[in-house]
Amino acid sequence: MTRAKKEITQAGTKIYDRGLVAGTWGNISKRLEEDPKKFAITPSGMDYRKIKEEDIVILNLEGEKKEGERIPSAETPLHAHVYKTREEINAVIHTHSVYASAIACLRENIPPIVEDMVQIVGGGIETAEYELPGTEELAESALRALNHKKAALLANHGVISLGKDVDEAIKVAEIVEKSAKIYLLAEFLGNPKKLDEEEVEKMKEAYRKYGQS
């Protein structure tokens, strides 16, 4: 249990230092390895630089508190719905990164345009239908936009990034922001060409063989 808490506090510092969140906004969770029907999540409205392991709250998949003194993140339904429906996912990070949020305000999707986005996120990034932050409705619209992929934009709000572990969820959050920057810049300069489905599949296949392992 301590491991999930430690990973969450470390991830909080990372996403804060990398400018993916501002102030106390955004939230991080991790499914418990020892009990996959529970997850650990950041407390509501606390400074990432001040969150300690004892501030992390443990909840079940219904969002009911099982351990901890703090009030859990207001986006608890968003995290709980992911763990309930995506068995392969063990970490969820919600950020308000600037470029991705700009596209979320346009309520547009980021088409599949660059390699790392296609390989790690799983294709283009869709924007979920607008719903009020913190609601069950937001969780449901986010899941529809996620489909089987690892990231989605939340209309007029921010980003949700998933991973098999915390490191992957951070990587996804960074790639979403980078892809949003590239897309906005390419749109400004001209007419970005999106990758077709065949190219997307080829890139995903190449990624399965990528790296040292």
Could you list the residues that contact Zn ion (CB under 5 A)?
Answer: 158
Token duo for residue 3: 């491991």
Q: Taking a C-beta distance cutoff of 8 angstroms, is the pair 138, 78 a contact?
A: yes
Do residues 161 and 78 make contact, with C-beta atoms less than 8 angstroms apart?
no
- Residue 99 CA to residue 4 CA, distance in Å, equals 29
Residue with tokens 């392969």: 88
Q: How far is the CB of 118 from Zn ion (least distance, A)?
A: 26
The residue sitting closest to Zn ion, measured at its beta carbon, is 158
Residue with tokens 């491991």: 3
Among residues 7, 54, 75, 197, the one annotated as catalytic is 75
Min separation Cβ 83 and Zn ion, Å: 18
190 Cβ neighbours under 8 A, 6+ residues apart:
none
Strands 127-128 and 151-154: parallel
Q: Name which of 77 and 158 has its Cβ closer to Zn ion.
A: 158
C-beta of 123 vs 158, nearer to Zn ion: 158
Give the shortest CB-114-to-Zn ion separation in angstroms: 25
Asked if 22 and 46 count as a contact pair (C-beta separation under 8 A), the reply is no
Shortest distance, CB of residue 150 to Zn ion, whole angstroms?
A: 18
Would residue 136 show up in a list of annotated catalytic residues for this protein? Answer: no
Nearer to Zn ion, 74 or 182 (CB): 74
User: Catalytic residue numbers?
Assistant: 75
